Amino acid sequence: MRLGLIGFGNIGTALLGLIAEGAPLDHLTVLVRPGAADAARSRLDGELKGAARSHALVSDAAGLLADRPDLVVECAGHSAAEAHAPAVLRAGIDVVLVSTGALADPALEAALKAAAAEGGARLILPAGAVGAIDLLSALGAGGGLEVRYRGIKPPAAWAGTPAAEILDLASLAEPAIFFTGNAREAATAYPKNANVAATLALAGAGFEATRVELMADPSAPGNVHEYSVVSPIANYTIRIENKPSSGNAKTSATTIYSVLREIRNRLGPVAI
Ligand SMILES: NC(=O)c1ccc[n+]([C@@H]2O[C@H](COP(=O)([O-])OP(=O)(O)OC[C@H]3O[C@@H](n4cnc5c(N)ncnc54)[C@H](O)[C@@H]3O)[C@@H](O)[C@H]2O)c1
């Protein structure tokens, strides 16, 4: 496979590390910010050497497209999704959008869908940090969904977010809910922490109807995602205790494996 990567931070690096443990990609194209190329090159030529038979670094979508990727993974954030993903989709190349929270912006959601339709490509929304998205998405067809999500992370994982203005994160002794609202509000206010709320909304009841609580908990066993679904067809509750990823406490480790799954499902004879 020829893989394109938009963003080369925590997820991108860990993903390539996992790929390097298995079969190498035929070619890898990494889109990095201007100024980040040297550091990226040394990682690709060093510890990530085994990830691809050849690689290139580019700084815009035109460079990415010139390398003819079979699939592009966005793992950079809202602004990168907005800047680069539409051109990739218009060129007929599928995009795995890890920053699902970016779709809480209705204009960007419409632009990405239009670009995908124009290019005959697909915008693929991975399960990311959460699970049972297949079931939620399937139940959505039956209507009448009630979805309640609670995101629980250690206080440090909420640093640099509006939670830090509501709570004294450094001295928090008890669990504290600092946000209650819908998934659109959560994904907009906490773009690096509430992608799960967006993924659940997109799979199930929509941004407005998906209820969200965000909590800081000093005794959280990691990044915990729990949600319950009530529907005419089935009810379920799921709780996932994620380890934080080593390069970014805000990102749950399962996210990286979820993206790896999207790639593997396009390589082997069976997709699951
Ligand atoms: N779907 C999910 O469940 C889920 C879970 C965790 C994280 N995420 C999202 O994935 C994204 C990446 O997470 P991460 O932990 O790797 O973050 P990170 O901050 O470690 O890495 C992001 C990288 O993207 C780069 N970047 C930002 N804007 C760019 C641009 N315009 N062009 C090129 N590079 C750009 C940054 O310099 C950085 O290197 C975030 O948006 C995060 O919200 C989604």
Tokens for 113, please give them: 């869908």
Q: Which residue has the tokens 């996932």?
A: 240
181, 111: one domain: no
Strands 123-124 and 223-230: unpaired
Sheet holding 176-182, edge to edge: 176-182, 211-216, 146-153, 223-230, 236-242
142, 76: one domain: no
- Domain-ending residue, one of 92, 125, 158: 125
168, 87: one domain: no
Q: Is residue 78 part of a domain?
A: yes
List per-residue pLDDT tens for the chain, 272 residues long.
999 999 999 999 999 999 999 999 999 999 999 899 999 999 999 999 999 999 999 999 999 999 999 999 999 999 999 999 999 999 999 999 999 999 999 999 999 999 999 999 999 999 999 999 999 999 999 999 999 999 999 999 999 999 999 999 999 999 999 999 999 999 999 998 899 999 999 999 999 999 999 999 999 999 999 999 999 999 999 999 999 888 888 889 999 999 999 999 999 899 99
31, 102: one domain: yes
Given a contact cutoff of 8 angstroms between Cβ atoms, the answer to whether 62 and 91 are in contact is no
75, 163: one domain: no
Tokens for 20, please give them: 């390097």
119, 137: one domain: no
Range of the domain at 138: 133-250
The model carries a pTM of: 0.96
* Cα of 234 from ligand 1 centre, angstroms: 34
CA–CA distance, 183 with 145 (Å, rounded to integer): 14
Q: Is residue 42 part of a domain?
A: yes
Q: Which residues line ligand 1 (CB under 6 A)?
A: 6-11, 31-33, 75-77, 79-80, 83, 98-101, 128-129, 191-192, 195-196, 199, 247-248, 251-252, 255
Mutate which of 18, 192, 199, 242 for ligand 1? The one with the most ligand atoms within 8 Å of its CB, which is 192
Q: Is residue 75 part of a domain?
A: yes
44, 20: one domain: yes
Tokens for 35, please give them: 């100024």
Rg over alpha carbons for the chain, rounded to the nearest Å, is: 19
- The domain that holds 137 is classified in CATH as 3.30.360.10
The residues assigned a catalytic role are: 225
- The domain that holds 31 is classified in CATH as 3.40.50.720
Please give the tally of structural domains in the chain.
2
